Amino acid sequence: MMRQYELVERVATYTKEPNEALLNKAYVYAMQKHGEQKRASGDPYFSHPLEVAAILTDLKLDEDTIAVGLLHDTIEDTDATRREIDEMFGEKIGHLVEGLTKLKRLDLVSKRAKQAENLRRLLLAISDDIRVLLVKLADRLHNMRTLGVMRPDKSKRIATETMEIYAPLAGRMGMQDLRDELEELSFRYINPEAYETVMSYLRELGEKNRSITAEISGTLEQRLAERNITAKVKSRQKKPYSVFRKMETKQLGLEQLSDIFGFRVIVDTIEQCYLTLGIVHTDWAMVPGRFKDFISVPKQNDYQSIHTTIVGPSKQRVELQIRTWKMHEVAEYGIAAHAAYKEGDDDFSHSKAYASLRKTIEQLAESDNPEEFLEHTKLELFLDQVFCFTPKGQIISLPTGATPIDFAYAVHTDIGDSCIGCKLNGKIMPVITELQNGDEVEIIRSDSQSPPSAWQSVVVTGKARSAIRRASRQAARKQYRTLGVRILEREFAKVGMTYEADEIEAVLPRLARESMDDMLAQVGRGEIKPMDVILAVNPEFKHEHSDTKSKANSDQSSGRSFFSLPTIMRRTPEKRKSEKRAHIPIRGVNDDLPIEFAAECGAVPGDQIVGILDPDKGITIYPVEAPSLSRFKGDKEHWIDLSWDVEEATKDRFPARIRILAKNAPGTLADISRIIAHHESNIQNLNMQVPVDDFAEFEIDVEVKDLVHLTRILQQLSAQKVITKAERLLG
């Protein structure tokens, strides 16, 4: 274990006059309190806070933070109290130690609602003092380094929490080295087979390319020295999880990856960065589309560098990062490298990374729905950034994968709500186009527009998603209000009364409703029965079914049960049909309205769906891409925004229609049926035509779990030699 004087010496390497008394006192206090406690590995427990303190010295943090690292488990695991720590070390250190104690009890991979609340508490603690995060990250890093002694189920759970929460937070604070190590350690426990495969490949590739990387580094340093630029060129290899993530997102094999090796060129000044870039691009060809200038426009976590890719000395692609030594320190240590921190200044508002984090957390904290908070947090905090421009030159920072819709909402909610199109770099483009760094975005607006519900699956920012949901709820409320009026008009007419809005508004207190709009929307949703409204207007009205009900009660009291027949015997065909429809897992309709899938196309989970209301027949569900929806284009008031309510493990199957063009040969139909059956799907209907002698066309109604399931079936069908084309029909 590291001794007291060694800890002080580590701090002295970057602080001229370290607070030796504070460090010694915290060291001795923590050692005494933890006493004979042991870790799961059998090591003395004190070794853990000592290693946490060592990690904090690697980050070159101040003595107060290192003292908190030494003390962070004392309240939780010993008889130490907050009051005692306040008296010995001051209220500021006591406050941080107590905050970390509370965070230690948080379960960040629990049920979604609980996870959201715990994550909210973590982020609010971070926004109060960034040192909470820095100590927590050091604590988590040492725990991950010693995770091998845990049970496999517990180690996987801790690794998952680290990968989903702590590694992205480290990245958001610019602490890339720490993030890389957390991801690599988590990857080892979450997917050990993939980890070993990637590591084996990287070791083999490293040995194979050692001479090439040395040659490139030497050549670059020599070329720059000839222009009087003193530079340090460091080769670097992609981390295992970064390689695996790229393989997954790009659907590539290991041998297809071309950017596993890269180089950092570190110079003294910003001017030399751009001179180096000019020399590199003059001597070697640049790969188009692979240039980014994060010096001119820094990332949200304060990262600065020039990124470019060239065709190197040996005619291979070479990735370069060009930066100054100061930028390099920020890239490695992130916010921990901030000079103000070393001077003991607690105001980090001038740090772009911390200011951005606090602003984001303040926005997230306004969310009332815990699950929406969790979703928005992961969208806002844990994605890389792209930088785009308004026509007036204002920079808008957005998560990678953002669309012009996200851009519109980032500028202003009203602009997002009224967006009907966009121009990217002067050209009209779809609003679902993924934005790239440097794009100029102009939003085309219309005051009569409201955002389609389907945009929720397109946008990537929490602000856009919340606004679209809010607008969708308002639109749905308007639809239900209109439906409520029609239902009441019809029901009043049935009993010989006239629907009068003024009369109904006068009796709203009898219905326990405050506004007419609320009442009408609830009638449309089936939450208020029309007969209750009729009786509120005319309490003397006698419902025609009341006599039947009295007769039933009389029959029961006389010993005869009017409802004695089995329920199934008394269901009419219409009733059975309605009950079957009610089991379709859809959100956005009430249980009183029968629903069904459009016969010509069906719909499956994963589709964006819309309902078409027929007051007499119910609601028919269509995918939003279905061409047959065009016939309802002029009747928008009958459109209802719907969404799926399906559990991941559901065994339900949903209808979809596919078309297959295949060779008209013996066994073709058998091959098609075998593939569909192999994927645990079922054929409901089949129609076959032979337009020409050599080919047959099949239209098949299948039942599938979701869109992914359907896509896999179509992919395997398309891969067969006898099949020319396999596609979904949307009607």
- Which sequence positions are flagged as catalytic? 76-77
Closest CA to 600 of 582, 625, 579: 625
600: left (phi over 0), alpha (psi -120 to 50) or beta: alpha
Q: Which residue has the tokens 């066994």?
A: 667
384: left (phi over 0), alpha (psi -120 to 50) or beta: beta
541: left (phi over 0), alpha (psi -120 to 50) or beta: beta
Name the helix (H) or strand (E) containing 704.
strand 695-704
Q: Which residue has the tokens 């500021």?
A: 92
Which backbone phi and psi does 44 adopt, to 5 degrees? Answer: -55, 140
Contact 89, 25 (CB under 8 A): yes
Helix (H, G, I), strand (E, B) or coil at 138: helix
In whole angstroms, give the CA distance from residue 253 to residue 194.
Answer: 12
Closest CA to 120 of 301, 467, 371: 371
- Give Cβ neighbours of residue 406 (< 8 Å, ≥ 6 apart): 398, 399, 435, 459, 460, 461, 463, 464
Contact 603, 609 (CB under 8 A): yes
606: left (phi over 0), alpha (psi -120 to 50) or beta: left
In whole angstroms, give the CA distance from residue 446 to residue 206.
Answer: 56
Contact 661, 714 (CB under 8 A): no
Cα dihedral angle (329, 335, 338, 340), rounded to 10 degrees? -170
In whole angstroms, give the CA distance from residue 159 to residue 161.
Answer: 5
Task: Give the type of residue at 453.
Answer: S
In whole angstroms, give the CA distance from residue 438 to residue 386.
Answer: 8
Contact 49, 71 (CB under 8 A): yes
Closest CA to 380 of 301, 467, 441, 463: 463
Name the helix (H) or strand (E) containing 378.
helix 370-381
Which pair of tokens denotes residue 353? 């990374």
SS (H, E, C) 73-106: CHHHHCCCCHHHHHHHHCHHHHHHHHHHHHHHCC
Helix (H, G, I), strand (E, B) or coil at 310: strand
Burial 553-586 (b: 16+ CB within 10 A, else e): eeeeeeeeeeeeeeeeeeeeeeeeebeebeebeb
Q: Is the dihedral of CA 408, 411, 415, 417 positive or negative?
A: positive
Contact 133, 126 (CB under 8 A): yes
Q: How many CB atoms lie within 10 A of CB 298?
A: 19
- Give Cβ neighbours of residue 563 (< 8 Å, ≥ 6 apart): 552
In whole angstroms, give the CA distance from residue 664 to residue 658.
Answer: 18
Q: How many CB atoms lie within 10 A of CB 498?
A: 8
